[in-house]
Amino acid sequence: MNCHYVRKQIMEAISDGIVLKEINVSGPEGAVRAKELGIGEVPAIAIDGELAFIGRVERNEIREELRTYSGLDKTYESSVIQEGFLTEP
Q: What is the pLDDT of residues 18-55, one digit of tens each?
A: 777 676 788 888 888 889 988 888 888 888 788 889 88
Q: pTM for the full model?
A: 0.70
H helices present in 1-89, as ranges: 2-13, 28-37, 59-67
The pLDDT of residue 79 is above 60: no
Cα distances (Å, whole numbers) of residue 55 to 28, 32, 41, 46: 22, 20, 8, 12
Domain count for the chain: 1
**What range does the domain containing 24 cover?**
2-86
Contact 76, 45 (CB under 8 A): yes
Rounded to whole angstroms, the Cα distance separating 10 from 80 reads 9
